[in-house]
Amino acid sequence: MIEIRDLVVTYGRATALDEVSLTVGKKCITAVLGANGAGKTTLLRCIHGLVSPRAGRVVLEGVDITGLPPEHIVRLGLAHVPERRGVIAQLSVQDNLLLGGLWRGFRERRAHTAAGFDQVFDLFPPLAQRRRHLAETLSGGERQMLAIGRALMARPRVLLLDEPSLGLAPQVVAQIFAVLRELSQLQGITVLLVEQNAHSALSIADRGVVLNLGRVVVTGAASRLATAAELRHVYLGF
Ligand code: ATP
C-alpha cells in the first residue's frame, strides 16, 4: 500500500530519518515503535507531505507522492491523526467532524456527511451523546475518538496515527485499539500506528517496525517482535 524508499529527513544539521525503507501492507496494521526522538513522528509527517525529505521516495498505491501538498495526499486517500489530537476546542463535536470532510466537493460532501456521522457515532458511542458539545468539554479519550472520527470523515484508505494512547487510561486505550482493529479487519483500512506503548501496539498490529536514532533496526511480524527478548529490553522498554 505504501512503499518508503531510502527516506532522509534533516532538521538543520540533525538527521531525523537516515535512509529509512519500509513497506506498509494493504489492509494491515503496521506499528512503528521506538524511543523518544527515534524519528517516528517525522516519518508520519513526511508521508503526509508536512515535511519534505532531503532524499528518498514515498509511493502510495503505485503513485509517487513525495513532495505533494498535504491536501492533495488526503485526496488520494490518506488521513493523519496527529500527536496530541489537534481537535479544535472551540468547535462542537459535530463541527470538528465536518472539518474532516471539508476538502471534498459540495455534492460529494452532501452525499457522504450523514453516512460519515453514522459511521463515527457507531464506532464511538460517547461522541454521539455529545455531538453538540464543544470539544473542550470532552475527556482525553473522547478527544482522541473525535480526532480519529474526523480523519474517518475523509473516507481514507490509509490512516496514520501518532501516539493515540498518549496520556489515556488503559481501558480507554483498549477501546480505541479495538476500533483500529475493526477498521483494518472489517473495513480494509490500512493503518500505520506510531506508538511508544509497544506492548499494546504489538497486541493489535500485524507487523512492527522499530526505529532507533532515525534508522530502521528491526522489522517483522508483530507476534515475533512482542516476544523477542533482546528487542523488549533494548528498544521497546518492556
Ligand atoms: P517522540 O516520541 O518524542 O515524539 P519521535 O520518535 O516521534 O519522538 P521525532 O519527533 O520524529 O521523533 O524527532 C526525531 C528527531 O528530530 C529528534 O532528535 C528531534 O529532536 C528532532 N526534531 C523533530 N522535529 C524537529 C524540528 N521541528 N526541528 C528540529 N529538530 C526536530
pLDDT digits (tens, 9 = 90+) for 30-58: 999 998 889 999 999 999 999 999 999 99
Q: What is the pLDDT of residue 35?
A: 87
Q: Mutation test of ligand 1: which of 40, 162, 194 has the most ligand atoms closer than 8 Å to its C-beta?
A: 40
Q: What is the pLDDT of residue 160?
A: 97
Q: What is the pTM (predicted TM-score) of this model?
A: 0.92
CA distance 186 to 230: 34
Q: What is the pLDDT of residue 107?
A: 66
Q: What is the pLDDT of residue 124?
A: 96
CA distance 180 to 197: 15
Quick check: CB of 10 below 6 Å from ligand 1?
A: no
Mean pLDDT of the chain: 91
CA distance 1 to 129: 35
| Local structure of residue 135 (DSSP, 8 states) | G
Give the CA distances from residue 167 to residues 34, 47, 217, in Å, rounded to whole numbers and listed in that order. Answer: 17, 25, 27
CA distance 59 to 39: 19
In ligand 1, the atom with minimum distance to the C-alpha of 211 is 6
Q: What is the pLDDT of residue 96?
A: 95
Beta bridge partners, 58, equal: 4
pLDDT in tens, 133-155: 999 999 999 999 999 999 999 89
Q: How confident is the model at residue 102 (pLDDT cuts 50, 70, 90)?
A: confident
Instruction: Tell me which residue has its CA closest to atom 28 in ligand 1.
Output: 11
Quick check: CB of 16 below 6 Å from ligand 1?
A: yes
More confident of the two residues 83 and 119: 119
Alpha carbon of 36 to ligand 1 centroid (Å):
8
Q: What is the helix (H) or strand (E) element at residue 58, kind and residue range? A: strand 55-60
User: Cα 218–231–31 angle (5° rounding)?
Assistant: 55
Alpha carbon of 14 to ligand 1 centroid (Å):
10
Query: What domains, with CATH codes, occur in the chain?
Result: 2-77+156-236 (3.40.50.300), 87-154 (no CATH)
Q: What is the pLDDT of residue 84?
A: 73
